[in-house]
Amino acid sequence: MSVRFFALFCCISFLLFDSSLTTWAKAPSTAKIVFTSNRDGNSEIYVMNPDGSQQVNLTKHPAADFDPVWSPTGEQILFNSNRDGDRDLYLMAADGKSVRKVFAKSANRLHPTWSPDGKQIAYLRPDEWAIYIATIDGKTVEKIAHTGEDGGNPAWSPDGSEIVYIVAGAAEKFGMRLPNSRQLRVVNLNSGAMRTLYAKHLPIMENPAWSPDGARLSFSWMNRDLWAKWVHDKWGKQVFDAQTIYVAARDRGEFRQIVSEEGPYALEPAWSPLGDELLYKQQVGNQLNQYQIFKIPVEGGKPEQLTDTGRNSSADWFDPRTLSVQPNVELLTTMWGKLKRK
């Protein structure tokens, strides 16, 4: 055995067997939805099947855990927690084990999203109202955009070239200054160029989510007609109740309403990995803040309620059928096989 080969063997053996390194559980073998629920009196991260069955608490921690998102390969879940004080970002394996912080220095970091290659994340720093991107080890960080107060919700495009987010601010309409106007803005990560999408549509757009092919965006929207009604109704009755889910082509403002306005507050759309359905949360009944998670076909159909207890939100969908069938050349077992053949 040559010295060079022996060195490679020792290096790979260390990586394989050193217990100090984090090891992640395998990705789910079937489609799973991860979400937040406070059904036990505390905010926790749960998973369930796409039909709402087998709802399982992954975190079981006294702190507040929320906003989970699957890694592109389904092996990890990125989420938010205040278990160390600040609302910071954490990683855990798909089975809820091997929890660790992303950043060595704590800070408030919200609204996490993954890059398509799984090597970076984007998030909101509410102390600065700015969007940052960082490597998944938390060591390299870059500020890319300001959001205005109450902006945020970054979402990484499927091709990795852009991030869409909410830019917030006041707008002049109907002879008065409207607070909390929110629109969608895209930043190109290669050039730094920024562009507001659907700029003529006011006043409130939130929760953007890319379709898997990157051609469409889903979002919640309260349109200008409803806002005008609120301006002329001193109590603002039933206006915010009518904010609901829409889909539009990425480069055109041809909005298509997906969820009926009959129920209040349809928010937080999330695409199925196949692009044929949307998840969203909606208030059910007369109990304030008792949101449940629904899914609905994008091309039209009846919504299906998936949860029925507590406040549920922040759903994200993983399906192993959408993963590439190409072998992962970075796997250590593949590397070892190649070395043995030399």
38-93 pLDDT, tens digit each? 999 999 999 999 999 999 999 999 999 999 999 999 999 999 999 999 999 999 99
Please tell me the distance from the alpha carbon of residue 99 to that of residue 110, in angstroms, as a whole number.
Answer: 17
Please tell me the distance from the alpha carbon of residue 150 to that of residue 167, in angstroms, as a whole number.
Answer: 8
Please tell me the distance from the alpha carbon of residue 152 to that of residue 169, in angstroms, as a whole number.
Answer: 12
* pLDDT for 339 beyond 90: no
Distances (CA, A) of 121 to 77, 98, 103, 155, 333: 12, 19, 12, 10, 27
Please tell me the distance from the alpha carbon of residue 154 to that of residue 113, in angstroms, as a whole number.
Answer: 7
At 195-239, the pLDDT tens digits run: 999 988 877 899 999 999 999 999 999 865 655 555 555 444 444
Burial (CB count within 10 angstroms: exposed 0-12, middle 13-18, buried 19+), residue 293: buried
At 277-335, the pLDDT tens digits run: 999 999 887 666 789 999 999 998 999 999 999 999 999 999 999 997 543 433 333 33
Which pTM was predicted? 0.84
Q: Nearest-CA neighbor of 120 among 137, 104, 103?
A: 137
Task: Name every residue whose Cβ is closer than 8 Å to that of residue 267 and which is 6 or more positions away in sequence.
Answer: 206, 207, 220, 243, 245, 280, 281, 282, 291
What pLDDT was estimated at residue 28? 96
Please tell me the distance from the alpha carbon of residue 203 to that of residue 207, in angstroms, as a whole number.
Answer: 14
56 close to 74: Cβ distance less than 8 angstroms = no
* pLDDT for 119 beyond 90: yes
Positive/negative CA dihedral, 34, 35, 36, 37: negative
DSSP for residue 320: G
User: Helices marked H in 125-254 — which ranges?
Assistant: 224-231
Q: Read off the pLDDT of each residue in 21-43 and give the average, rounded to a whole number.
A: 88
Task: Name every residue whose Cβ is closer than 8 Å to that of residue 228 and which is 6 or more positions away in sequence.
Answer: 173, 174
Looking at per-residue confidence, does 183 or 2 come out higher? 183
At 231-245, the pLDDT tens digits run: 555 444 444 556 899
Distances (CA, A) of 204 to 123, 132, 142, 227, 280: 21, 23, 28, 9, 17
> How open is the CA angle 44-50-51, to the nearest 5 degrees?
105
Residue 93 one-letter amino acid: A
For residues 270, 274, 277 and 283, what is the CA-based torsion angle, rounded to 10 degrees? -30
* pLDDT for 247 beyond 50: yes
